[in-house]
Chains A and B, each alone.
Chain A
Amino acid sequence: MSARVLVGVKRVIDYAVKIRVKPDHTGVVTDGVKHSMNPFCEIAVEEAVKLKEKKLVKEVVAVSCGPQQVQETIRTALAMGADRGIHVEVSGKDYETLGPLQVSKILAALAKKEQADLIILGKQAIDDDCNQTGQMTAALLDWPQGTFASEVNIEADKLKVVREVDGGLETIKIKLPAVVTADLRLNTPRYATLPNIMKAKKKKIANVKPADLGVDVSSRLEVLKVDEPPQRQGGVKVETVNDLVRKLKEAGRI
């Protein structure tokens, strides 16, 4: 198959880091904080590389939108097995307000330019939890979508996708070209091994600006305030049943 897969990878604050709200409540602290690839994007990259290893697709292209630092994230994708990368340069104020709508416009434009047959994205990013980019990209391209995928199989020119939905699992067949978003159980991402990390240094990352793709990255949303969730109150231990009953009465629970 001569298919080309486009994989979107997002650079987010690392999953294990404790998030702090900025003193001016306009956002969260990102300076000096450890960032890494969004876990669902890792799963997307892994799936694309697996398809390439099964010889079902020919080329895997990793894409990321943001400032200079996102190149690290693209390099990680390359170390996992992607063939080349595209860095869409968005920085400063534009980056702060970059959201799913602008990203999906960029991905749609790139898909047309690169003649991609399949786009695999993470189902959502762990910083904004939007869960919108995949769906919007499919709509802009007028392509079918298989979201929350826990299993993906290529059968001739169609894609069989098992989706994780509220009621259980739903299996659908969609025509290629299509957009797939990866859910947690799709696969377990591989560790980038040293030989591959070395090879990745030689792979190409092309630089592109949103304007070159004809995309306007201005936002129609304005963040008014960012607050921490209310602190969780500790529980209280009591010594006897009578104490328990008394405390419940005091709290107005009984």
Chain B
Amino acid sequence: MGIFQRFARLPLKSTYIWSLCPQYSTDLTAVDRALIVRSSQLIQHRCVHSRVMGASPGNPGAAPPRLPFSRVTREDLAFFRTLLPGRTITDPDLLKSSNVDWLKTVEGNSEVLLRPKTTEEVSQILRHCNERNLAVCPQGGNTGLVGGSVPVFDEIILSTSLMNQVITFDNISGILTCQAGCVLENLSNYLEERDFIMPLDLGAKGSCHIGGNVSTNAGGLRLLRYGSLRGTVLGLEVVLADGRILNCLATLRKDNTGYDLKQLFIGSEGTLGVITAVSILCPRKPKAVNVAFLGCSSFQQLLETFQCCRGMLGEILSAFEFFDASCMSLLEKHLKLTNPITESPFYIVIETAGSNATHDEEKLHKFLEEVMTSSLVTDGTVATEATKIKALWSLRERVTEALTHEGYTYKYDISLPVEKIYDLVQDMRGHLGDMAKNVVGYGHVGDGNLHLNITSPSKDPALLAAIEPYVYEWTSEWKGSISAEHGLGLKKRNYIYYSKPSEAVALMGSIKAMLDPKGILNPYKTLPDNIH
């Protein structure tokens, strides 16, 4: 089993090994080299089974060959059907949407979709799969952008869609405990009726599950104000690969008793355990929310506006987002949205949230007067009513949607020092020239997080080769992160070394091996094919 597993994990083209990890070549023996050649031959044959759209051998984002997991048998199906009557889906039509990611760039061919309702059911599923060596792909709302939420081959899809119950809510502490399959927007609505809000908000809120948000350590639009899930999640209930239930569902703000295990699972993208319940600290619903939509003529002025904003709005600032003129023209072209102000090279969305409308409006108006008179901002508008606020936010939130109408999108979610953010966009424009149809930049500039998107009418390997690894090397040079909030999933697993040293990745591998020795949880994702 050992050698087979070893060469089966090797990437497709032998040359790839050398380009990604040069020191490895000196350690190869003649036997290893023979195995690599043999594996490439076998893998070409097996390539047919991995229908990763747009992939080609030698592309680090493409799927590796299928690992030797068992295949689902009639006996397995009988077990699932007894455990989950009516909730074991094998109909190919029903499976189709769960096999393809939201961006329609990755497709697996799972033949079984399971919909447990309770943690106990998840435990029994995983215990069975672990014994039988069946791979499992946990799936929430399937809104991930790095191909981490869909199977690569025939992994069993474990969906949280029926685990959608709120367990408890304490309206003094603001601590919400719920199952992992609760849709974020539903939780927001539930909390708003009780005068609280979720500490995170993202464009995918209508579909994403809180379990998925936690497994990917989602950031979103409110991170600037309420911090990341690593601070707001107080406890987790996780089912481990062998079916053991780990109940760390504390509802305590402070608990320093031993190692904080939940931090391992937050952001682990379903590879260390399946999150089944979450307890999360929720902030009070702000009484006064205002949104200002501003136009700036240069990125430098945008940054100065941010500094001014921090100084004058500080404690009430809850979001500071930007997008460029290219994004605005796509919004106008594909979604028929109107630009509320005059054309500008950059647009900023600022949200304030506070407990007193009069105070906040005064602070906001002073700030707006300051940035207008000092010409940091060329035009802008303000909204205090819910309908107008939604309209202004939708300009920022729907950029992702507008891009999907342009053909094929190459998405990069980069963390950089704030001053460097737009340099990357301009550099890419110059570097790609006519090869790309659009090169746009938008994102959480307040958090130093850029969403760089490049489009072409259809998938173009030459364009991809020009973008990668150039964009990752650029990021690495400025000590940035190649995936600020989207995670690594399938597409970016092999780029981890651009942002993490080998000792760190090696330790991650050890932890994975300890928690999931058979590697059945979301294989082919997050960790690189070759840990060295």
Contacts and interface: CB of A to CB of B under 8 A. Distances in A.
B380 interface: yes
B381 A16 contact: no
B383 to A, nearest CB: 8
A34 B372 contact: no
Query: Interface SS of chain B: helix, strand, loop or mixed?
Result: mixed
A239 B381 CA distance: 51
Given A32-B287, A198-B372, A191 B386 contact: no
Interface in B366-397: 368-369, 372, 377, 379-388, 390
Interface in B86-109: 86
A208 interface: no
Contacts of A192: 381-382
Nearest to B340: A191
Nearest to A192: B381
Nearest to B339: A191
A36 B294 CA distance: 21
A145 B112 CA distance: 66
A174 to B, nearest CB: 31
A194 B386 contact: no
B341 interface: yes
Contacts of B384: 34, 36
A15 B372 contact: no
Contacts of A16: 385-387, 390
A198 B379 contact: no
Contacts of A188: 338
Contact of B387 (A14, A32, A190): A14
A17 B389 CA distance: 12
A198 B382 contact: no
A195 B369 CA distance: 9
Contact of B379 (A15, A17, A36, A194): A194
Contact of B385 (A36, A194, A198): A36
Contacts of A233: none
Contacts of B383: 191
Contacts, number: 52
A213 interface: no
B381 A193 contact: yes
B297 to A, nearest CB: 14
Contacts of A14: 385-387
A194 B338 contact: no
A193 B341 contact: yes
A14 B390 CA distance: 12
Contacts of B293: 191
Interface residues of A, number: 18
A197 B364 CA distance: 13
A31 to B, nearest CB: 12
Contacts of A17: 386
A111 B386 CA distance: 33
B369 A198 contact: yes
B197 to A, nearest CB: 15
Interface in A49-96: none
Contacts of B382: 192, 194, 197
A16 B289 CA distance: 13
Interface string A131-154: 000000000000000000000000
A194 B380 contact: yes
Contact of B377 (A15, A34, A194): A194
Nearest to B389: A16
A188 B337 CA distance: 12
A193 B338 CA distance: 14
B348 to A, nearest CB: 12
B338 A195 contact: no
Interface in A201-251: 239
Nearest to B192: A18
A194 B379 CA distance: 6
A240 B204 CA distance: 33
Contacts of A36: 384-385, 387-388
A195 B385 contact: no
Contacts of B340: 190-191, 193
A204 to B, nearest CB: 19
Nearest to B380: A194
Contact of A194 (B86, B287, B381, B390): B381
A194 B340 CA distance: 11
Given A16-B386, A32-B287, A239-B86, A195 B372 contact: yes
A15 B386 contact: yes
Contacts of A15: 385-387
A242 to B, nearest CB: 15
Given A193-B381, A194-B380, 15 more contacts: A14-B385, A14-B386, A15-B387, A16-B386, A34-B385, A36-B387, A36-B388, A39-B387, A191-B341, A191-B388, A193-B342, A193-B380, A194-B382, A197-B381, A239-B86
Interface of A: 14-17, 32, 34, 36, 39, 188, 190-195, 197-198, 239
The 4 closest A-B pairs by CB, nearest first: A16-B386, A36-B385, A191-B340, A191-B381
23 contacts: A14-B385, A14-B386, A15-B385, A15-B386, A16-B385, A16-B390, A17-B386, A34-B384, A34-B385, A36-B384, A36-B387, A36-B388, A188-B338, A191-B341, A191-B383, A191-B388, A193-B341, A193-B380, A194-B368, A194-B377, A194-B380, A194-B381, A198-B369
